[in-house]
Structure 1
């Protein structure tokens, strides 16, 4: 057992001392024990006291001289910090649930009762803190065996576990996705049977688990499980609509659900950015709504990038995701995701590159990551050609930016300067001149410099019948 080192740590020695002084029974249980066995470092300790968890927390606080104890009487828990550790205390308990709520009725219980109420066997393993059995490993439901076999299993009947707290169905899939574990057959069957119970869970709680799945090393593992068990259909129907193919007159389009998962996994291999991963999930979200069959051409999804960008706010709002700059970022990438791909199919002009830089701004690198990830064809020659052209576009982006400084471009001529130069009030003419200067720079007619833009402004003003004052 790889616990020798942690048992010799300052925090465990301190806890042993306090538990002995208080003459109580206490255990570290759950995630820390699991992660230590997996060789993963953690600094969160869940401590179960057989009796009063808050009283043990106060005793620990007194021992370490920390008066900042957060107590949650409603839940019977307390939390405090010691060095770099976060310690959470709770009394061992039994739980019972009503069918329409995941909030349990709680009564005091034994360690075994507390382990039995845990979601999975790999989260029910414990380390004793009491003097006579300090460091003993307690595993009544064979969590270590499941950890070694890479299995997610519940300590009790999975139908009861998931019916009591339906969020556990998402947690099962989240752990399977994060750890690349299998969910055991009985659990899968129970999730399929109980999937509609997820409706009693708030969107906020669902999104927390969903984001953890998205941040997995290979998120497609979690999404395939969500889809196959019917859970995804309950809270993300737009993504489910991507599933399937259709053939007509010898033309078949790809399955956009599995294509989306490929793109998501591709992004995940290169970036931990949650919102870039969300852009991968949503980049083709409007394809079902824009699908059309055109004889002699085949299937088209014209305008799906614009329609998809318009769908982003409503999806974020329903899933209780942030409606701030993060949402705007995802919306921008969805709207622009075809632009670099289009440039790889032909010789990209400097003007097209300038406009892409201007529209993408600081997000150009993430946009290029998304677009490269979107190349998922099974035709190796096609992929090779796209990737070669992609590298040419990347190189040209650097060259044009060095020459023209269009990324995060600010107009060299302001509206105030236009009004001051010609002695005019705010009017359509001011906007016309500003826009013409922008277009001239993006088209390469003039350089992105004050002097050239000022001269351009004077000439344009003259055409509009304006005279400098």
Structure 2
């Protein structure tokens, strides 16, 4: 085990350097030697889910192979961990930026730069280590704190370059500014006191805003920094300072809430800037008059995001008398780690997964949850600001807040992840890469509207249809979304007119309203809450109620219940199929991307949403292969790991033969099935169904030849698409032991005719190939006799399995010409010739066909003359 630590009273440089070491030394554990500074503690608390710390007491010296010490050279400053330095077996590495003391320096790097983390960032750059925006921000905090925002004398060009690199990798200065401060000059201190004396608090549309004024006879720089410091002192949403210096009034604004843009009122005063920071300079005006005018402009600030804007609705709850066993089942079903306990709409408490597990451990599965729930629940009102939400999460060091109204009725839930998604936006850190939990999607990426894509890539008629559906949804009070493959292919520029619409509330009732509105026919599937509309022009639209699926056991058909669009998209197979856009006319085209599906589309990734995805629905394994082939995408590392784990647990053997056949049929409907089957063979998927392949390399060649054979015969209209699956089955089974043959016949729920075809192929059919392989001359009638009793499926498979052009050509000759040769003479003709009906008829017809195949007779007259030439003994044969 490797561990990294830093000095007690840890600052941002020490903490950031520890985190950087985990990037350079994988599987290294961070150990805090002692206390941490207040601002660092607050930052760690907010991001605790992504940080994995160990306490010194948890470290077994015998397990430690490498000790990394950062931001200190003193063994006295790492607390009890200094004892590890006496262990000769432990390799010690040091990174520090302080001047060398008298202590001996082991491996590492000790150089005089502004911050230790700068040294580690240089290592990260040299090793091409990728950073997340969260990591980049943390490292930037380390640099800014130890260099006084790059102003201290010890700051070096290396620190500045490191900071630039971090900004290029997504570091957020807005977060840095919330945790870092720098010293003031004496003049600035005096001005700060004046501004605080003239401070006035306002409430503009729910925002807590401070306006400060001052009038000076000289110019003092740094008013922007003072404005920022006032915001930190007063803990408000925004601060505006109006400072008159000589003949100019400087109006400066700073927003301390990312959801509050403050530039507009300053722009109207003739200034400019950014949403979070803006300034204006006004010449030869009265300060009081400017203040009065500016206050009126601040009344136009937009209303803030509140708890109700961020919370997740439709929270799953349980009653106080529900048993521990049932609570455990509900947690498993919905993937929750805690459940609110509610009675008569009133919140009574909350029970966690830990509480439930402990009760189960003590064999109290039938006890009611009310005896184990926590009643001291931290709640928040729906109108609380996001800032208040964040403060409560940090203060109580909890992961979730329940939102209750004035009557204590629970109306929603906010998680720490919800807040971080507002702070970090699209680049919010993911705690469970490459997976997602229900808590990860409360804030969708709605910054984009797909109107332009819709208008340029969809036919006009379809655009109008979607718009009409959206208008109807708006009018009738439904929430409707275009989802899934339709949206995926729209973004890829791939034609796909199969429209899937998800409706919050009741899709069937909404579909009825659409039929009444647009005309057409409707077919309901009440069990699944879905309906299909067939419009007058034949176009079909599928409507589904937003639903959550639960699989009671691996490979089972899911149980379904209503939910929100968020949960509905979470149940889907891959991130690229979780994309959606709103249809309601007030927000038509608004893009929903809860799981970074757009990013995976751009990068060509097939990625599942949770680790049991393939276990719960093994058919997703086949769909992953199809998407890989169709779009030239590839499963990511995490998804591949889950796939292999599912195969090791033999999940495909739990699928019914009918469901496997459905997936195989979908594969052969793709443009190049052999690529998909070959990939399945390489991953062990086909082996998981049929057993160990006896000749995998030959099977790969046979699969490629199957594509060619099918294509040739389809171009000649000799074989239909519905027959192709059976061809591939014959080719596959041929490379597997007899067990595969028995599995297909007994477990795949095939029709009697299909079973007979397969049986005939492997019980004598293949033997005919040997005869046709012969290089000696064969009459056409001999080829005909060898192949006539075999179905088109068998013949196409034989062409694919043929290892010589001679054999393939003979089969093709039969299909293209010989099987079409027919005898024109009928039974009536034979009767007129005085031949008594009986077995002799079929023998005569067979002789006629033989002669005709070999080119010895051609017309019906030839046939009749040939019959007349037969003597009575010949006729009776």
Q: Which residue of 1 aligns with 2:699?
A: 257
Residue 28 of structure 1: CA displacement? Answer: 0.7
Any conservation in 2 of the 1:54–1:89 contact (CA below 8 Å)? Answer: yes
Cα gap change, 1:148/1:270 in structure 2, threshold over 3 Å: closer, same or farther? farther
Q: Which residue of 2 aligns with 1:421?
A: 833
Q: Which residue of 2 aligns with 1:80?
A: 533
Residue 366 of structure 1: CA displacement? Answer: 9.6
1:451 aligns with 2:451: no
Residue by residue, what CA displacement relative to the aligned partner does 1:209-234 show, whole Å, maximum 9, x if unpaired?
A: 11221232232332233334443234
* Residue 153 (structure 1) aligned to one of 607, 614, 628: 607
1:158 aligned counterpart, secondary structure:
coil
1:442 aligns with 2:442: no
Within-5 A mapping of 1:117-128: 117-128=571-582
Q: Which residue of 2 aligns with 1:176?
A: 628
Point out the structure with the larger strand share: 2
- Between the aligned partners of 1:431 and 1:369, the Cα distance in structure 2 is 28
Q: Which residue of 2 aligns with 1:3?
A: 454
Cα gap change, 1:62/1:224 in structure 2, threshold over 3 Å: closer, same or farther? same
2:646 aligned counterpart, secondary structure:
helix
Any conservation in 2 of the 1:278–1:330 contact (CA below 8 Å)? Answer: no
Cα gap change, 1:27/1:412 in structure 2, threshold over 3 Å: closer, same or farther? closer
- Between the aligned partners of 2:703 and 2:639, the Cα distance in structure 1 is 24
Residue 49 of structure 1: CA displacement? Answer: 1.6
1:61 aligned counterpart, secondary structure:
helix
TM-score w.r.t. structure 2 length?
A: 0.41
Q: Please report the RMSD computed on the Cα atoms of aligned residues, expressed in angstroms.
A: 4.2
1:24 aligns with 2:481: no
* Residue 197 (structure 1) aligned to one of 634, 643, 651: 651
Residue 268 of structure 1: CA displacement? Answer: 6.1
Residue 141 of structure 1: CA displacement? Answer: 0.7
Any conservation in 1 of the 2:673–2:707 contact (CA below 8 Å)? Answer: yes
Q: Which residue of 1 aligns with 2:748?
A: 319
Q: Which residue of 2 aligns with 1:279?
A: 727
Q: Which residue of 1 aligns with 2:102?
A: none
Cα gap change, 1:276/1:201 in structure 2, threshold over 3 Å: closer, same or farther? closer
Within-5 A mapping of 1:351-366: 351=779, 353-356=780-783
Relative contact order, CA 8 A, sep 6+: which one is greater? 1
Any conservation in 2 of the 1:94–1:109 contact (CA below 8 Å)? Answer: yes
* Residue 164 (structure 1) aligned to one of 608, 616, 623: 616
Q: Which residue of 2 aligns with 1:303?
A: none
1:447 aligned counterpart, secondary structure:
coil
- Between the aligned partners of 1:447 and 1:181, the Cα distance in structure 2 is 58
Residue 45 of structure 1: CA displacement? Answer: 1.6
Residue 448 of structure 1: CA displacement? Answer: 3.2
Contiguous gaps of at least 5 residues in structure 1: 245-254, 291-307, 377-385
- Between the aligned partners of 2:861 and 2:762, the Cα distance in structure 1 is 34
Any conservation in 1 of the 2:524–2:531 contact (CA below 8 Å)? Answer: yes
Within-5 A mapping of 1:381-420: 406-420=818-832
Residue 131 of structure 1: CA displacement? Answer: 2.8
Q: Which residue of 2 aligns with 1:461?
A: 871
Any conservation in 1 of the 2:479–2:503 contact (CA below 8 Å)? Answer: yes
1:58 aligns with 2:512: yes
Contiguous gaps of at least 5 residues in structure 2: 1-449, 715-719
Residue by residue, what CA displacement relative to the aligned partner does 1:283-316 show, whole Å, maximum 9, x if unpaired?
A: 58446679xxxxxxxxxxxxxxxxx9xx69x846
Residue 163 of structure 1: CA displacement? Answer: 2.1
Q: Computing the radius of gyration over CA atoms, which structure comes out larger, 1 or 2?
A: 2
- Between the aligned partners of 2:626 and 2:764, the Cα distance in structure 1 is 29
Point out the structure with the larger helix share: 1
Residue 138 of structure 1: CA displacement? Answer: 0.8
Q: Which residue of 2 aligns with 1:91?
A: 545
Residue 14 of structure 1: CA displacement? Answer: 0.8
Q: Which residue of 2 aligns with 1:298?
A: none
Residue by residue, what CA displacement relative to the aligned partner does 1:42-82 show, whole Å, maximum 9, x if unpaired?
A: 2222111222222221221221134x321221111122123
